[in-house]
Amino acid sequence: MLRAAMRMGIAPEAFWRLSLKEWRMLTAAPRGTAPMGRAGLTKLMEDWPDDG
């Protein structure tokens, strides 16, 4: 874990001060955005209509 922290640029002193919650936040996979809903699709269709 210390090696992973060092690859992220975290100094050893800072690593040892991290809480478990902070470490999990740093190493968690990024969360994606939610899929577009009907309202978002409707707005896109209004803003960018097909001209064909």
pLDDT by residue (tens digit) across 5-49?
888 899 999 999 999 999 998 888 777 888 899 999 999 999 999
Q: Is pLDDT above 90 for 51? A: no
Higher pLDDT, 23 or 51: 23
- State the pLDDT at residue 16: 93
Angstrom distance (rounded) from CA 40 to CA 33: 13
pLDDT of residue 38: 96
pLDDT given at position 52: 60
